Amino acid sequence: MDAFILQILNGLDKGSAYALIALGLTLIFGTLGVVNFAHGALFMIGAFVAVTMQKVLNLSTELVDPTKKDFLGNPLMVKTPYVENWFGESAGQFIINWSVPLSILAAIPIMLAIGFIMERGLIRHFYKRPHADQILVTFGLAIVLQEIVKAFFGANPIQTPAPDALNGVVNMGAWLNMSLSYPLWRIVYFCFAAIIIFGVFAFLQFTTFGMVVRAGMADRETVGLLGINIDKRFTIMFAIAASVAGLAGVMYAPINPPNYHWGMDFLVLSFVVVVVGGMGSLPGAVLAGFLLGILESFASTTWATTTIPGINQIIIYLVAIIILLTRPRGLMGRKGVMEE
Amino acid sequence: MLKLDKKDTTLFLVVIAMTLLAPFIMNPFPTDSGLAQFNAGYPDLMQRFAIFGIFAIGFNILFGLTGYLSFGHAAFLGVGSYAAVWMFKLLSFNILPAIFLAVLVAAIFSLAIGFVCLRRSGIYFSILTLAFAQMSFAMAYSVLSNPSFNLTNGETGLQVYADDPQILKGSGPDATHLFGLEMRNTFTLDVGAWAFQFNLGFYICAMFLILAFYISLRIFRSPFGLILRAIKTNQTRLNFTGTNSRPYTLAAFVISGMYAGLAGGLMAAMDPLAGAERMQWTASGEVVLMTILGGAGTLLGPILGAGFIKYFENIFSKINDSVLQSWFSFMPDGLSDFFVSIVHPFVGKGWHLTLGLLFMLVVTFLPGGLVEGGQKIWSRLRNKDKDGGAKSTATTPAE
């Protein structure tokens, strides 16, 4: 029983990442009708916002301290980060330590801007082109973004630790008299993902803006005829979808050190998630994300890998193939979306 | 000739001439001149031109004609490579059985995958092929290389070892060969300052490329090719006329899978190695790039695209900072440093950045690829110069 719950927990953090990326993808697809192959790259950029934030906060002044010597006997160079100079030592160290959560604040405007520029600058010109062209141009964009990040940060993964306070292991099963030790940051990630997902749904469900967007998703033309500038709202939705992917990336950085080809790695999986959930269905994307994450974690258990070797590598694709062939619309797909 | 009309015969002859004379065409600069780094006339690169040309021609039969965008074509190439290396391991280093098995295995593999994937179209088809290819990659990388059943040799890649059976080897050579003629045989012709290299392996690839091009030409001009184009234009309407399109798309899928298998087999024949990374989806993405860049749906486009990408990949990655410095050395110091720092991210290791940008530009402004660009320039030149108007373009787009 312990092991069972632990596997579900293990699946939740990966599932949260899948769900967040897939949510953004579906949002873009449902509103603008664009298949965005660069969405994984947005996730990767989010992670690198966290990396940059960490680097920026660690910018230091170097002073020679004549009273101390290093091991060679030379005067010691003491590095003091600027934030420590400005806010005092303890507050400065606290800020540096919390760089990942702090980067959320930076990531939101950055990702909104990137999303806005992407939509207005590039994707807007592809609405009337075939889906194949949209896939191709965003695929090209994904390569470009990935290479830019590689040029700046190099090809190696960069460690981005979570704050010390959130870095430990907690016993999840204490109140159930079970021993389930589980990394605290992954629980934080799951809660964070849940908040974002609820936020997006609430935004769409309970605001006028969201109502208009939903109306536009259902019938874009009529909404336009009613005198509403639906394109403008869809652009904003694109930017929001981009920032959802970016935030997913920011918070994922401590779980797995980010490197430049994260985007491509997660892209394939999140597309599979979207298709399994049903193209254009927001709840479907979230459901499928968690489902596939949990399935993957169950397939990685020793029991599963000894019964069917390598099942952990292929389970997601296998499930996707089965679902696509038996339920062509995915788990919760609507009728008439992407059906030729 | 060969059941081709006059225009196609010309085109075919041009391709034959270009392929067979490649060692000359690719080697325009004298060996010890400063421009020699732009030469591409060495065997390894020319072989890759031909092999990826075949791969892209095959992909174009599927994507260019039917419009089905497969994102998993590298799987067939990888399977072909593995099959070929297994033939080397079991029989001998003769390439004929290896290539035969590579094509056969790729055909069976693509028949199975195509049968499943072609039940869906559009984006779903792309995702399904992607899923299958990633699954094959993951399996080749891990599952199929366990000690009891080592089909792919995992991360190391499949290669021929001294203790492999090689039952037909006898006293045959220890490198890939065709009835005793080794693939690495190279004849160097020195003409003045030039050194032209004629490599047997390249000519084998070139023969296959010519054959592949001929078959694709015949498919483009056949009633079968017309139906495939009808599928791209309007599949629903085609179905209304009572034509069942599935067998046609499946045939196109299997044919292009066999082309990929042939390319994979040739790759192994030139260098008896096969690794799982050949099946990864970025490898599938590369053939998509080649075809689109050259011009999807055109006959010459894929070959041009493959040649273009492979050429610049090689040349760009050779340009390092010192080369850049020597280019801009005629400028004042500060200015040359400035230009070097601007160009630097796009060359050397940054080649993929250039490729991505170029690809985006082509998709946005030139959906017909390099071939369309060439035609546009040609027609503009022709309008200016009416005398030259009688000549026809060497390229024929599908649409």
pLDDT of residue A173: 64
Q: Is residue A65 a part of any domain in this protein?
A: no
Q: Is residue B14 a part of any domain in this protein?
A: yes
pLDDT digits (tens, 9 = 90+) for A244-265: 999 999 988 888 888 888 887 7
Q: pLDDT exceeding 90 applies to what percent of chain A?
A: 14
Q: Which domain holds residue B128?
A: 6-30+39-280
- Check: CB of residue B295 under 8 Å from CB of residue B369: yes
Angle, CA of A47, A48 and A53, to the nearest 5°: 105
Query: 3-state SS string over A261-307?
Result: CHHHHHHHHHHHHHHHHCCCCHHHHHHHHHHHHHHHHHHCCHHHHHH
Query: Comparing C-alpha atoms, which of B279, B347, B292 is closest to residue B79?
Result: B279
pLDDT at B350 > cutoff 90: no
Task: Look at A161-165, A188-192, B81-85 and tell me which has the smallest mean pLDDT.
Answer: A161-165
Separation CA B303–CA B209 (nearest Å): 9
pLDDT at B276 > cutoff 70: yes
Q: pLDDT exceeding 70 applies to what percent of chain A?
A: 95
Q: Of the candidates A148, A320, A338, which has its C-beta nearest B122's C-beta?
A: A338
Q: Is residue B390 a part of any domain in this protein?
A: no
Query: 3-state SS string over B155-222?
Result: CCCEECCCCCCCCCCCCCCCCCEECCEECCCEEEEEECCEEEEEEHHHHHHHHHHHHHHHHHHHHHHC
Separation CA A143–CA A139 (nearest Å): 6
Separation CA A189–CA B178 (nearest Å): 59
pLDDT at B282 > cutoff 90: no
CATH code, domain with A312: 1.10.3470
pLDDT of residue B165: 78
pLDDT at A85 > cutoff 70: yes
Strands (E), chain B: 145-146, 149-150, 158-159, 177-178, 181-182, 186-191, 194-199, 273-274
Q: How would residue B394 be classed by pLDDT, with cut points 50, 70 and 90?
A: very low
pLDDT of residue B393: 46
Query: Comparing C-alpha atoms, which of B101, B46, B27, B40 is closest to residue B268?
Result: B101
Residues 364-393 of B with CB under 8 A from A: 364, 367
Q: Of the candidates B143, B345, B363, which has its C-beta nearest A313's C-beta?
A: B143
* 8 Å CB contact of B128 and A324: yes
The domain total for chain B is 1
Q: How would residue B390 be classed by pLDDT, with cut points 50, 70 and 90?
A: very low
Separation CA B41–CA B188 (nearest Å): 11
In the three-class reduction of DSSP (H, G, I as helix; E, B as strand; rest coil), residue A14 is classed as: helix
The domain total for chain A is 1
Computed over every residue of chain B, the mean pLDDT equals 83
Separation CA B73–CA B57 (nearest Å): 12
pLDDT of residue B388: 45
| Tokens encoding A319 | 């499930």
pLDDT of residue B356: 86
* Total Cβ atoms within 10 A of residue A49: 24
Write the single-letter amino acid at B166. Answer: Q
Mutation target for B interface from A29, A150, A261, A275: give the one with most B CBs within 10 A: A275
* 8 Å CB contact of B355 and A143: yes
- What average pLDDT does the segment B109-127 reach? 87
pLDDT at B20 > cutoff 80: yes
pLDDT at A329 > cutoff 50: yes
- What average pLDDT does the segment B9-15 reach? 88
Instruction: Decide which of B261 and A63 is more confident.
Output: B261
How far, in Å, are A8, A175, B20, B195 from residue A171 at the CA level? 15, 9, 71, 72
**How far is A326 from chain B, CA to nearest CA, in Å?**
11
B139 CB neighbours in chain A (<8 A) are: 310, 313-314
Write the single-letter amino acid at B88. Answer: F
Say how far residue A314 (Cα) sits from the centre of its chain: 22
- What average pLDDT does the segment A33-42 reach? 87
B385 burial (CB, 10 Å; 0-12 / 13-18 / 19+) is: exposed
In the three-class reduction of DSSP (H, G, I as helix; E, B as strand; rest coil), residue B124 is classed as: helix
Q: Which residues contact B18 (CB under 8 A, 6 or more apart)?
A: B25
- Check: CB of residue A16 under 8 Å from CB of residue A193: yes
Write the single-letter amino acid at B266. Answer: L
| Tokens encoding A18 | 């899948």
Q: How would residue B104 be classed by pLDDT, with cut points 50, 70 and 90?
A: very high
**How far is B130 from chain A, CA to nearest CA, in Å?**
8
Residue B194 phi/psi, 5° resolution?
-95, 150
Instruction: Decide which of B356 and B387 is more confident.
Output: B356
pLDDT of residue B385: 62
pLDDT of residue B336: 75
pLDDT digits (tens, 9 = 90+) for B314-324: 887 777 777 77
- Check: CB of residue B61 under 8 Å from CB of residue B85: no
Q: Is residue B96 a part of any domain in this protein?
A: yes
Q: Is residue A195 a part of any domain in this protein?
A: yes
Report which DSSP code applies to A324: H
* 8 Å CB contact of A135 and B353: no
pLDDT of residue B236: 86
* 8 Å CB contact of A137 and B363: yes
B171 at interface of A, judged by CB pairs closer than 8 A? no
pLDDT of residue B1: 57
B67 CB neighbours in chain A (<8 A) are: 130, 132
- Check: CB of residue A169 under 8 Å from CB of residue A182: yes
pLDDT of residue A100: 83
Question: Would strands A75-81 and A169-171 be described as parallel, antiparallel, or unpaired?
Answer: unpaired
Query: Comparing C-alpha atoms, which of B74, B62, B22, B103 is closest to residue B266?
Result: B103
- Check: CB of residue B145 under 8 Å from CB of residue B74: no
Crossing angle, helix B351-365 and helix B301-318, to 10 degrees? 150
Q: Which domain holds residue A201?
A: 2-54+100-326
Q: Is residue A339 a part of any domain in this protein?
A: no
* 8 Å CB contact of A313 and B236: no
Separation CA B186–CA B197 (nearest Å): 6
pLDDT at A154 > cutoff 90: no
pLDDT digits (tens, 9 = 90+) for B365-384: 888 888 888 888 888 888 87
| Tokens encoding B240 | 């209304």
| Tokens encoding B196 | 């032209």
Computed over every residue of chain A, the mean pLDDT equals 83
Q: pLDDT exceeding 90 applies to what percent of chain B?
A: 23
Q: Is residue B54 a part of any domain in this protein?
A: yes
pLDDT of residue B112: 92
Q: Which residues contact B250 (CB under 8 A, 6 or more apart)?
A: B111, B114, B115, B118
**How far is B353 from chain A, CA to nearest CA, in Å?**
5
Q: How would residue A334 be classed by pLDDT, with cut points 50, 70 and 90?
A: low
Helix and strand numbers (H, E) in chain B are: 15, 8
Q: What DSSP string describes A204-233?
A: HHHSHHHHHHHHHHH-HHHHHHTT--HHHH
Q: How would residue B95 be classed by pLDDT, with cut points 50, 70 and 90?
A: confident
Q: Is residue B235 a part of any domain in this protein?
A: yes
**Beta bridge pairs of residue B190:** B195
In the three-class reduction of DSSP (H, G, I as helix; E, B as strand; rest coil), residue B125 is classed as: helix
pLDDT of residue B315: 80
- Check: CB of residue A50 under 8 Å from CB of residue A248: no
pLDDT of residue B389: 43
Q: Is residue B128 a part of any domain in this protein?
A: yes
B69 CB neighbours in chain A (<8 A) are: 132, 135
Q: Of the candidates A35, A129, A324, which has its C-beta nearest B120's C-beta?
A: A324
pLDDT of residue B61: 92
pLDDT digits (tens, 9 = 90+) for B213-222: 999 999 999 9
* Total Cβ atoms within 10 A of residue B364: 16
Q: Is residue B369 a part of any domain in this protein?
A: no
Q: Which of B155-159, B164-168, B337-341 has the highest mean pLDDT?
A: B155-159
Residue A233 phi/psi, 5° resolution?
-65, -40
Rounded-to-10 torsion of CA B340, B346, B351, B354? -150
pLDDT at B145 > cutoff 60: yes
Q: Is residue B296 a part of any domain in this protein?
A: no
Separation CA A4–CA A264 (nearest Å): 31
pLDDT digits (tens, 9 = 90+) for A87-112: 777 778 888 888 888 888 889 999 99
